[in-house]
Structure 1
Amino acid sequence: MREGTHRVPHLTRSTTPASTGGPLWRKDGTVLVTGGLGVLGRMTIRHLVASHGIRRIMVVSRSGAATDGAAGFVDELSAQGAELHLVTGDAADRGVLERALASIPADQPLTAVVHLAGALDDGVLTSLTPERADHVLRPKADAAWHLHELVTDPDVAFVAFSSLSSVLGPAGQGSYAAANAFVDALVTRRRAAGLSGLALGWGLWESRSGLTGDLGDADVRRMARSGVRPLSDDQGLALLDLACATDAPVVFPLHLDTTALGSGDADVPPLLRGLARTPGRRTAARATAPEPAAGDSLAERLARAPEAEQDAQLLTLVRTHVAAVLGYDDPRTVGERRTFVDIGFDSLRALQLRNRLNGATGLRLPATLVFDHPTPVTLGRHLHTLLVPDAPAAGDSVDGVTTSRPDAVVPDPTPATGEGGEAIEQLRSAASLQEVLDFIDDQLGQ
């Protein structure tokens, strides 16, 4: 709410023309870099030396010269005619920054600051503590504030590496999102005060850094479905130069797949939906598909379906959303009877699945959903009892006939024998028929 008007934030393509008054890389001085010995830090420094002719760089790093490969990095830049001076210390310590700035020679004055320092400590909101938040806020937000107070010359470029998390706020990154949002706001404040400032809210890079090294392939695929794809090194460095030539105080350099944004996935962040490009074939398909009747809820559709199909529909629903959470391309790869813990679920993914199922079913499901119903098939049956409460449960007698689930496997009372017999017996008692057949195919293939 601003002056009685509702405003909804969204991201748009940058159309700001190149400016000669933006942060420029001068060759006649010193560039101060925090966190410059990480993957992106070294990449940025190499780019400044090779593409912009910077010849003197000072890096403030907690490990300093003791960082793996630091000596070789100094020699590498020296061979290119550049001086790299390492300062061991925490950039969040104002005294460390004061001493580093005071040591810069008068004949090579400070011309630019590049703030890359940062740390991660992901977790859902209820797991955060003041100590965990401080671990993330200090290197990013505190260091940025100290640099802001110490660097007041409007001719000194001030570039801060931020993150897309500052506006998208991904689940499990509350502290990191807050730290980067602070940096974005601080840079905006600097610009309003007539000082230099540029915050770069980076998306994911292909080159894994200390902040993204723990991301798995499933995490990357999940991000890709929301439209955010990894930046190659060349793309990232090109976007760095492009962003530094704009007048905007906060820019988000991204590799954005606008077709993926137009896929209709409800998980697309609202801030990105205005950038979606809907493929023509999808538009045509939607135009010809019959619209569901008003008030035609999932429970009503299930009630009209034959009882034998109800469980199958709900199992498919569960597997589809499990696949989305885990980043699988095909829901059929989700085992019906494998526990959620076994297939990689943690508390964060459990909440994501619960939220997705809330939206798909219209129910208000508990946060402990996947722990109370630990496999896709048991979760599907639980949803069945909630959505079709009058349906008979498995094992109930209806008109003298005992009901059973169509996916049930009746175990042979004779134990399996021979090599591998124990594994087959365990699988038979815990797997669906399709999983048994997949297991046999796998064994024959070996």
Structure 2
Amino acid sequence: MLITVARAGESCSARYGSGDAPAWRTDGTVLVTGGLGTLGQLLVRHLVVTHGVRRLTVVARSGATGADAFLRELRAEGADLHVVAGDAGDRDVLAGALESIPADRPLTAVVHLAGVLDDGVLAAQTPERVSAVLRPKADAAWHLHELTAAAGVPLVAYSSVSSALGPAGQAGYAAANAFVDALAARRHAAGEPALALGWGLWDARSGLTGDLADTDVRRIARSGVKPLSSDQGLALFDLARATGEPVVFPLRLDTAGLRGGATDDVPPLLRGLARTPVRRATAEAGDAPGQESLAERLGRLSAPEQDELLLDLVRGHVAAVLGYDDPRTVGERRPFTDIGFDSLRALQLRNRLGGATGLRLSATLVFDYPTPLALGQQLRTLLVPDAGDQPVPAPRADAGSERPGAHEAALDRLGSASREEVFDLIDDMLSE
């Protein structure tokens, strides 16, 4: 396994040439699955314009629908593109695409980009959901391997860094890409040319990443993997081929962003790259040996002070899950479902709060206590059970005036707030 890195502000094309990579043959046909998606079009254009490939057979689920302008552009460059409509996970579709390649322009390489995402926590996975993810990525890779074995041509597959970092909620997708990585390694060991590229996020939104919100992008960035520009990605594509390795992870790593990161944000595989070791969540909560526990701290406070401390704790972890820069912009009365919480984010928040409090918390915690205020009060009940018979005061109509200048201070923060943070802050102010 090799990790190639593009650092912020650097031009990969300037730093790395493709001269050491095997040249793309221009006298035959390159088969590309998923070649009309966002990343597929970038790659096909790169093969034609940069590497002089002149004939491509592209397998796309929807055929050429919606790609007329792109096909005209490439044909104007002198390329001959033949589009096959069908599911890349269907062996018969792939066999038909290969049979359509003319004898005088034989297959010279295969690039496999097809894939499908269906994120969700492990408990929500079903055989049908997992199969839908494995089929276009893993099954298609195996079919291509078998169908082209006799040709001895390179098999280049787009994989994902999820196979190595194992992000929460991507069990099926991580497994599919781990299979692709293993297949490339197996082919390489047998002397057959193969390469699996374990990509992170690209700036160009594809069918896999088009639904990501800004908060998702910020959360991914906190893991140390930042989005690649199209130029960086294509330059790293060429560099990866020049390494001669079967599995390469072309990533834009932000090692500075890893320093002092929270345990849940930084994948274990990347923690060694941070100069400052990541602290355990329990230590952050004050449960390290010789330090006062959260429950002990609460025991010395009045009920209102306990509520305020726990509300701040909840809002801090909500902000971390959503990628907010300022926890104070998290509306204390706004339902979690209104600020983008799904089952995956709910599980992340449960795990973070469990580490911070030392409590074993229910997976349905966010849905049982649907606002930061309600959740903080429930944590108080669990952490200070002796105070459970003290009624929790209902929010007063003038709660917003408890802290003089609270709204003015909040407005001062709007200048650097994201759109989601602004909406949360406004909703919270209107509810007071």
TM-score normalized with structure 2 length:
0.84
Native 8 Å contact 2:107 2:151 kept in 1:
no
Q: Would you say the 8 A contact 1:140–1:180 is kept in 2?
A: yes
Q: Deviations over 1:17-58 (max 9, x none)?
A: 999996541222111000100000000010111111111111
Matched residue of 2:149: which SS? coil
Aligned to 2:357: 361
**Matches of 2:179 and 2:214 in 1, distance apart?**
30
Tell me: CA distance 1:365–1:343, structure 2 relative to 1, closer, same or farther (3 Å). Answer: same
Work out the CA distance in 2 between the residues paired with 1:344 and 1:435: 30
Asked whether the equivalents of residues 169 and 344 of structure 2 are also in contact (C-alpha less than 8 Å), the reply is yes
Instruction: Find the partner of 1:410 among 396, 405, 410.
Output: 396
- The answer for the alignment partner of 2:100 in structure 1 is 103
Corresponding residue for residue 317 of structure 2: 321
- CA separation in 1, counterparts of 2:197 and 2:268? 20
Paired AA for residue 93 in structure 1:
D
Q: 1:7-86 counterparts in 2 under 5 A?
A: 23-65=22-64, 67-69=65-67, 71-86=68-83
CA distance in 2, matches of 1:236, 1:21: 17
Measured in 2, the distance between the counterparts of 1:37 and 1:13 equals 26
2:408 is equivalent to residue 388 of structure 1: no
Letter in 1 for 2:385: P
- Structure 2 counterpart of 1:202: 199
Seen in structure 2, the aligned counterparts of structure 1 residues 291 and 13 have a Cα distance that, compared at 3 Å, is farther
With over 3 angstroms needed to count, the CA separation of the structure-2 counterparts of 1:311 and 1:393, relative to structure 1, is farther
Percent of aligned pairs sharing the same letter: 66
Residue 274 of structure 1 is matched in structure 2 by 272
Shift of 1:300: 2.1
Q: Structure 1 counterpart of 2:102, which letter?
A: P
Which residue of the partner structure matches residue 294 of structure 2? 298
Residue 339 of structure 2 aligns to a residue whose secondary structure is coil
* Residues 295-347 of structure 1 deviation map (CA, whole Å, 9 limit, x = unaligned): 53221232244554322211111100011111111100111111212222122
Q: Distance in 2 between matches of 1:313 and 1:171?
A: 28
Instruction: Give per-residue Cα distances to partners, 1:55-77, cap 9 Å, x unaligned.
Output: 11110112212x212x2222111
Q: Distance in 2 between matches of 1:393 and 1:318?
A: 22
Normalising by the residue count of structure 1, what TM-score does the alignment of the two structures yield? 0.81
The count of residues paired between Structure 1 and Structure 2 equals 397
Aligned Cα RMSD in Å? 3.2
Decide whether aligned partners of structure 1 residues 11 and 301 sit closer, same or farther in structure 2, where only a CA change above 3 A counts: farther
Q: Does 1:191 align with 2:177?
A: no
Asked if the contact 1:24/1:244 (under 8 Å) is kept, the reply is no
Greater displacement, 312-321 / 296-305: 296-305
- For 2:363 and 2:324, locate their aligned partners in 1 and report how far apart those are by CA, in whole Å: 22
Unaligned runs of 5+ in 2: 6-15, 280-285, 412-425
Give distance in 2, aligned partners of 1:299 and 1:410. 27
1:219 to 203, 210, 216: 216
Change (3 A) 1:251 1:46: same
2:241 corresponds to which residue?
Answer: 244
Deviation string for 1:164-197 (max 9, x for gaps)? 1112222222211111111111111111111011
Specify which structure has the bigger relative contact order, considering alpha-carbon pairs within 8 angstroms and separated by 6 or more residues: 2
Task: Decide whether the 8 Å contact of 1:160 with 1:198 is kept in 2.
Answer: yes
Which structure has the bigger radius of gyration? 1
Segments of structure 1 that go 5 or more residues without pairing to the other structure are 1-9, 284-289, 396-403, 412-427
- Aligned partners of 1:80, 1:432: CA distance in 2, in Å? 66
1:393 to partner: Cα distance: 5.0
